[in-house]
Amino acid sequence: MSLQQVDYGIREDGEPLPLFVRPKDDNSKQFLQRWLDNNKEWLEQKLLEHGAVMFRGFDIRCAADFEAAVRRVQPELSDEYRGTSPRRLIPGTEAVFSASELPGYYPIAQHIEMSQLPAPPRKVMFCCLDPPTSFGGETSLCDFRKVYRDLDPEVRSKFQEKGVMYVKNYTRNGKKWSIDPTMLKGWEELFGTTDKTVVDEECRKSNIDITWKDNDAVKLVNREAAIQYHPETNEPVWFNHVQVFHLTMLKDELYRFSHRSKSFFFLLLSYLMAIINWLAMTVVRHTEFGFYTFYGDGTEVTASELRSIGDTIWKNMVFNRWEMGDILMIDNFSTSHGRQPYSGKRKVVVCWSPPCQKPKAYRQ
């Protein structure tokens, strides 16, 4: 099956992220599966070039349709998830999950999936099964190769030299009422087990320092490089969760979204989160937050440095409205994703490839 059987191209505004692929005559899921079987090399090249490819207009009705299509390109899918966002397995599938169980008003900042770990997935795939009707709700994208190039050289140099330290705290039973908005889920949900010896072994394999605390709580600390080489193109990529796992993320993302949406509600919400941040910083030690980030040597990342990182990312972010049946494939070693706030209904599901060991850290 040839490329002539589909239309493909970039957005009308010239933005190359993502590349869109649409059917010409046959929009059936069977055609899409056959087409993917015959055009894997082309697709892989376009993922490297653009960072993401969106399949739009095909008759994808459910998570099982999505999984069947994705397996034509990525036969092996992983069910191992070490991120912070609560998720659940979609019935009728083996490896498709809800993209997030966080409430719609909660923004998810741009991130390379599981970049805080030694072996993130090589690809991440999303599918829209119920488009949002409100403003927002996009799975926004950002080319983190551009972020590396555009970032303030002084900030970039400090992260190249020091790396990032991630501190995460989990209770046994998950989130309870807390002044800390980063307490999202428990360690049993994170690791998929109630066996502490299994948790200890998983942390050992991932180079994570683990400390068990009172009431079956646990603290996880690990250090990773902030910048990585892309495993195939050898390009430097901004590759970390530094602003995502910082306590200030929520207020900063809400503030930026309020300006994009011109929403007074989200502006007020961002100010409320700023007050909660101040209270949390007053009451709770940094190392006791649900998650927090430092430079790799344990020194603080300043507010101006975090603002510089956030501004650079937002300058390069791309927003594409979801349509029913959209399938979005992302090169997880070059391109980040996030979620814009929304209200009302929205259903997006996700799957990802098995862990891929990071290439060597970028040094200059």
173, pLDDT greater than 70: no
The pair of three-digit structure tokens given for residue 326, joined into one six-digit string: 């959209």
Residues in the chain: 364
Residue 74 sits in the same domain as residue 134: yes
Considering the domain architecture, whether residues 167 and 302 belong to the same structural domain is answered as yes
In a domain, 283, yes or no: no
User: Are 66 and 327 within 8 A, CB to CB?
Assistant: yes
Question: For residue 6, what are the CA distances in angstroms to 16, 74, 166?
Answer: 18, 20, 44
Return the top range by mean pLDDT from 50-54, 271-275, 287-291: 50-54
CB 60 within 8 A of CB 66: yes
Residue 238 belongs to some domain of the structure: yes
Assigned domain for 182 exists: yes
Please tell me whether residues 331 and 297 are part of one structural domain. no
Task: Classify residue 276: in a domain, yes or no.
Answer: no
Number of domains composing the chain: 2
> Is residue 284 over pLDDT 80?
no
Q: Which two tokens stand for residue 251?
A: 């207020």
CATH number of the domain at 123, please: 3.60.130.10
Q: Measuring CA to CA, how many Å separate 129 from each of 55, 153, 184, 257, 325? A: 13, 41, 25, 24, 6
Assigned domain for 188 exists: yes
Asked if 73 and 217 sit in the same domain, the reply is no
Do 327 and 212 reside in the same domain of the chain?
A: no
Position 264 in a domain:
no
Instruction: Kindly state whether residue 281 falls inside one of the protein's structural domains.
Output: no
The CA-based dihedral angle spanning residues 271, 275, 280, 283, taken in that order and rounded to the nearest 10 degrees: 180
Amino acid, res. 88 = R
Q: What pLDDT does residue 53 have?
A: 98
Both 223 and 154 in one domain: the answer is: yes
User: Nearest Cα to 55, choosing from 98, 80, 23?
Assistant: 23
**90 plus 189 within the same structural domain:** no
Shared domain for 164 and 301, answered yes or no, is yes
Mean pLDDT across 337-341: 96
Q: What percent of the chain has pLDDT over 70?
A: 92
For residue 276, what pLDDT is reported?
79
| pLDDT of the residue at 291 | 85
Residues 307 and 196 in one domain: yes
C-alpha span between 302 and 70 (Å, rounded): 41
Task: Note the pLDDT of residue 100.
Answer: 83
Which has more confidence, 276 or 36?
Answer: 36
For residue 73, what pLDDT is reported?
94
pLDDT tens by residue, 248-280: 898 999 999 999 999 888 889 888 888 877 777
Please give the Cα distance from 88 to 337 (Å, whole number): 19
Binned at pLDDT 50, 70 and 90, residue 20 comes out as: very high
| 260 lies in some domain | no
- Looking at the structure, tell me whether residues 17 and 88 fall in a common domain: yes
* 3-state SS, one letter per residue, for the chain: CCHHHEEEECCCCCCCCCEEEEECCCCCHHHHHHHHHHCHHHHHHHHHHHCEEEECCCCCCCHHHHHHHHCCCCCCCCCCCCCCCCCCECCCCCCCEECCCCCCCCCEEEECCCCCCCCCECEEEEEEEECCCCCCCCCCEEEHHHHHHHCCHHHHHHHHHHCEEEEEEECCCCCCCCCCCCCCCCHHHHHCCCCHHHHHHHHHHCCCEEEECHHHCEEEEEEECCEEECCCCCCEEECCCCCCCCCCHHHHHHHHHHHHHCCHHHHHHHHHHHHHHHHHHHHCCHHHCCEEEEECCCCCCCHHHHHHHHHHHHHCEECCCCCCCCEEEEECCCEEEEECCCCCCCEEEEEECCECCCCCECCC
Q: What is the pLDDT of residue 21?
A: 96
- Looking at the fold, whether 140 and 30 belong to one and the same domain comes out as yes
Q: What are phi and psi of 227, to 5 degrees?
A: -135, 135
pLDDT in tens, 158-172: 999 999 999 988 887
pLDDT at res. 2: 67
Integer Cα distance of 96 and 349 in angstroms: 7
pLDDT tens, position by position, 181-199: 666 678 888 888 889 999 8
pTM, full prediction? 0.90
Question: What percent of the chain shows pLDDT beyond 90?
Answer: 65
Residue 286 has pLDDT above 70, yes or no: no
Q: Rounded to an integer, what distance in angstroms lies between the CA atom of residue 230 and that of residue 236?
A: 6
pLDDT for 177: 47
Instruction: Say what the pLDDT of residue 83 is.
Output: 64
| Residue 216 banded pLDDT, cuts 50, 70, 90 | confident
Q: What is the pLDDT of residue 364?
A: 46
Domain of residue 304: give its range: 146-246+291-312
Q: At what angle do helices 29-38 and 40-50 cross, to 10 degrees?
A: 90
Query: What span, in angstroms and rounded, lies between the C-alpha atoms of 24 and 27?
Result: 7
User: What gap in Å lies between CA 66 and CA 60, rounded to an integer?
Assistant: 6
Query: Quick one: 121 and 34 in the same domain?
Result: yes
pLDDT in tens, 292-305: 999 999 999 999 99
Q: Two tokens at 191?
A: 């690791």
